[in-house]
Amino acid sequence: MRYLPKSETERREMLDTLGLDSIEDLFSHLPEEARLKRPLNIAPGKSEYEIVEYFRARGEETAASYTSFLGAGVYNHYRPVLVDTVVSRGEFLTSYTPYQAEIAQGTLTTIFEFQSMLCQLTGMDVANASMYDGSSAVPEAAMMAVRVTHRNRVLVAKTVHPEYREVLRTYSQHQGMPVDDFGYVDGAGSLDLADLESKIGNDVAAVIIQSPNFFGIVEDVKAAAELAHKHGALLVVAFTEAVSLGLLSPPKEADIVAGELQSFAISPSYGGPYAGIIATKEAYIRQLPGRIVGETKDTHGNRAFCLTLATREQHIRREKATSNICTNQALIALMATVFMSVYGKEGLRELAEQNLAKAHYLAEGLDLQFSAPFFNEFVLRTEPEALNAELLKHKIIGGLPLGRFYPELEGCMLVCATEMSKRAHLDQFKKCAESVVQPALVAPRGGSL
Amino acid sequence: MYPDNFRYTKEHEWVSIEGDTGTIGITDHAQHELGDIVYVDLPKVGASVAKGGTIGSVESVKAVSDIYSPVSGDVIEINQALADKPERLNEDPHGDAWLVKVRLTSSDEVKGLLSAEDYRSYIGE
């Protein structure tokens, strides 16, 4: 809880500074009908203790004690206590862009570690110091491909997170970068390579796919890369569930990897702040947006770190920078760095295995929409609203009804299980799912695209 | 230092004309001001360039600077050697380290460019 004192004297001072007589004057420009003519409906004069108690009680009435099977780009994973211990240190909290290497070796070291670990996980040569989030990393990767190939059209798989595709369209509309979709195989839920092949041409700068895709399905990155490269396009591989990198082979056939690191100890927090990442091959490093920390030597010959290739950044190149709409999410990225350090290679693999095992335990015996292999999310055929209502009775938040994003998947729900899903909850979910059956008329199996 | 048969721009590029081919580079003054050059970004062969349009950029340890074409034309050749040896731009900017060759689409444009003498006085030499 924050302590925000505001005495009558302070109110007066603020009003005087603004040249106003009363609080009412502050809102005088608003239309009459939009203004509240009575005090807010809050009981006056409660003690601090009562206020804390009040909110604690209200919190218990909400979803705080519920278990969740929601995924779809934001995942419920365990956050090691060490994460907050490290990121709440004042040295990290106060630092932003470490332009002055001589006073920022600590921050620069953590960013260098972050980049190095992400290169290992993605199979790329270089990674930047982070992006806002996965959804903005994807259009940045597309624009990077446009600069590299001197082409301008982008093909994006329908199995890329629908909101990422929306952000891509927002970016593209003023970039002269037309964006077209290509589909997925009806019963499988994986990339429709034939559809991709029919749409690709020598004007395509980038083919964008996601793996595991929005339906949780692991895509054939190699096949997509071969097809893209055959036509001189770059392959961008996006990811939303970073934990999958602990188990899947790195998407090293990609030219650019763009993803979201929320799964690495960044709490869901109603959608942000998160941290994204773009990694690429060394040949494209000069088109990589954002900051890059490099290893160097100080005047005494000691190992040291500094911002490198900063000549293409906005503080130097202004409007001609590689990007003016990205940043270095240093503090949030540090959460991911600490997470990766705590888990290590083996730990991350075990964590990914647990996710895989729990999701597959949950899916067993249920009516799945797609047949292709999945990681920790899958598409369930059911009556989504009815199932979610049933689950809520058991203090379980169910999955995401897909009709909103995919009209052809009305009657389907995206379900996610992680290491946080307890056996009892998994069993309860299965029991509820078996009791709620998808009405046959809503969407026949293998429904059209 | 500044060949008399070249024409120059106030943005510090030079062009040398032979028939309908123009060879474009940056001046010795430009390389000196930029400092150690670490990367050169050039257009693709076949690209069309307009007089005053960007044909690439030169990156030094201090800055990235755009290269503006002194003439209009179609790019017929780029200096591939600079990809591996960008430092050649510091060593021989008026010779070996030319940047691109273009087929001129408007021969009149050259008349508006600076002579070696004009350029020298422009940069105060």
CATH no. for residue A187? 3.40.640.10
CA distance B6 to chain A (A): 29
Verify whether the Cβ–Cβ distance B59 to A317 is below 8 Å.
Answer: no
d(CA A331, CA A95): 8
Virtual CA dihedral for A28, A34, A36, A40, nearest 10 degrees? -120
pLDDT at A442: 47
Total count of residues recorded for chain B: 125
| C-alpha radius of gyration, chain A, whole number | 25
Among B39, B61, B66, select the one facing A320 at the smallest CB separation: B66
d(CA B59, CA A286): 10
Q: Cβ contacts of residue A224 below 8 Å, gap of 6+? A: A191, A193, A196, A207, A209, A235, A253
Per-domain boundaries in chain B: 6-106
Partners of residue B59 in chain A, C-beta under 8 Å: 286, 311-312
Please, what are the averages of pLDDT over each run of 10 residues along chain A (449 residues)? Answer: 78 93 90 88 84 87 86 96 93 77 91 97 96 96 95 97 97 94 97 98 98 98 98 98 97 98 95 95 93 93 91 78 84 96 97 98 96 98 96 96 97 97 96 82 47
Within an 8 Å CB–CB cutoff, is residue A316 touching chain B? Answer: yes
Q: What CATH code would you report for B6-106?
A: 2.40.50.100
d(CA A201, CA A153): 9
* Same-domain check for residues A349 and A415: yes
**Final residue of a domain: which of A317, A339, A361?**
A339
* Same-domain check for residues A255 and A129: yes
Beta-carbon neighbour count of residue A107 at 10 Å? 24
**Minimal-distance CA residue of chain B relative to A318:** B64
Closest CA to B80 of B37, B26, B44, B36: B44
Beta-carbon neighbour count of residue A290 at 10 Å? 25
**Which residues in chain B land under pLDDT 70?**
none
Within an 8 Å CB–CB cutoff, is residue B74 touching chain A? Answer: no
A2 belongs to a structural domain:
no
Sole residue written with tokens 């006085």: B121
Helix (H) or strand (E) holding A227: helix A221-230
d(CA B43, CA B82): 13
Pairing label, strands A126-127, A276-280: antiparallel
d(CA A312, CA A326): 13
Token pair, residue A175, equals 């970039």
Which pLDDT tens digit goes with each residue over A7-41? 889 999 999 999 999 988 988 899 999 998 888 88
Verify whether the Cβ–Cβ distance A311 to B59 is below 8 Å.
Answer: yes
Residue B42 to residues A336, B80, B82, Cα–Cα distance (Å)? 38, 9, 9
Burial class (CB in 10 A: 0-12, 13-18, 19+), B68: buried
d(CA A295, CA A272): 30
Give the burial string for A251-276 (b: 16+ CB within 10 Å, else e).
bebbbbbbbbbbbbbbeeeeeeebbb
Which spans in B11-76 are helix H? 28-34
Verify whether the Cβ–Cβ distance A320 to B62 is below 8 Å.
Answer: no
A39 belongs to a structural domain:
no
Within an 8 Å CB–CB cutoff, is residue A315 touching chain B? Answer: no
A18 belongs to a structural domain:
no
Task: Dump strand ranges (E) for A234-317.
Answer: 234-239, 256-260, 276-280, 292-297, 303-308
d(CA A343, CA B60): 40
**CATH number of the structural domain spanning residue A415:** 3.90.1150.10
Among B61, B62, B64, select the one facing A312 at the smallest CB separation: B64
* Same-domain check for residues A396 and A326: no
pLDDT at A302: 95
pLDDT at A328: 83
Closest CA to A372 of A224, A237, A217: A217
Verify whether the Cβ–Cβ distance A286 to B61 is below 8 Å.
Answer: no
Beta-carbon neighbour count of residue A341 at 10 Å? 17
Overall domain count for chain A: 2
* Same-domain check for residues A202 and A295: yes
Partners of residue B44 in chain A, C-beta under 8 Å: 150
d(CA A49, CA A45): 12
A292 in helix, strand or coil?
Answer: strand
d(CA A2, CA B70): 62
**Final residue of a domain: which of A339, A365, A387?**
A339
Structural domain boundaries, residue A72: 67-79+344-435
A444 belongs to a structural domain:
no
**Final residue of a domain: which of A320, A339, A358?**
A339
pLDDT at B4: 95
* Same-domain check for residues A189 and A271: yes
Interface A-B, measured as beta-carbon pairs within 8 A, has a size of 19
* Same-domain check for residues A360 and A331: no
Task: Report ipTM (2 d.p.).
Answer: 0.79
Testing the interface with A: which of B58, B64, B67 to mutate, by most A Cβ within 10 A?
Answer: B64
Residue A260 and residue A137 in contact, taking contact as beta carbons nearer than 8 Å = yes
Which spans in A42-192 are helix H? 48-61, 81-87, 90-93, 105-122, 134-149, 162-172
Among A150, A311, A316, select the one facing B44 at the smallest CB separation: A150
CA dihedral for A437, A440, A441, A447, sign (positive or negative): positive
- pTM, full prediction: 0.85
Residue B109 and residue B3 in contact, taking contact as beta carbons nearer than 8 Å = no
Verify whether the Cβ–Cβ distance A316 to B64 is below 8 Å.
Answer: yes
Beta-carbon neighbour count of residue A295 at 10 Å? 13
pLDDT at A448: 44
d(CA A162, CA A142): 16
Task: Dump strand ranges (E) for chain B.
Answer: 6-8, 13-18, 21-26, 37-41, 48-49, 54-60, 64-68, 73-78, 100-104
Crossing angle of the two packed helices A105-122 and A330-363, in degrees rounded to 10: 30
CA distance B62 to chain A (A): 7
Token pair, residue A369, equals 């929409």
Partners of residue A315 in chain B, C-beta under 8 Å: none
Partners of residue B61 in chain A, C-beta under 8 Å: 311
d(CA A273, CA A291): 18
Within an 8 Å CB–CB cutoff, is residue B63 touching chain A? Answer: yes
A11 belongs to a structural domain:
no
A7 belongs to a structural domain:
no
pLDDT at A246: 97
* Same-domain check for residues A205 and A309: yes
d(CA A225, CA B18): 44
Verify whether the Cβ–Cβ distance B64 to A150 is below 8 Å.
Answer: no
Within an 8 Å CB–CB cutoff, is residue B39 touching chain A? Answer: yes
Q: Which of residues 281-310 of A touch B (CB under 8 A)?
A: 286
Torsions phi, psi for A110 (to 5 deg): -65, -35
* Same-domain check for residues A149 and A189: yes
Within an 8 Å CB–CB cutoff, is residue A317 touching chain B? Answer: yes
Token pair, residue A78, equals 């365990």
Among A150, A286, A320, select the one facing B39 at the smallest CB separation: A286
Sole residue written with tokens 């295995």: A353
3-state helix, strand, coil in chain A (%, to 5): 45, 15, 40
CA distance A316 to chain B (A): 7
A237 in helix, strand or coil?
Answer: strand
**Minimal-distance CA residue of chain A relative to B56:** A147
Testing the interface with B: which of A292, A317, A319 to mutate, by most B Cβ within 10 A?
Answer: A317
Testing the interface with B: which of A311, A313, A314 to mutate, by most B Cβ within 10 A?
Answer: A311
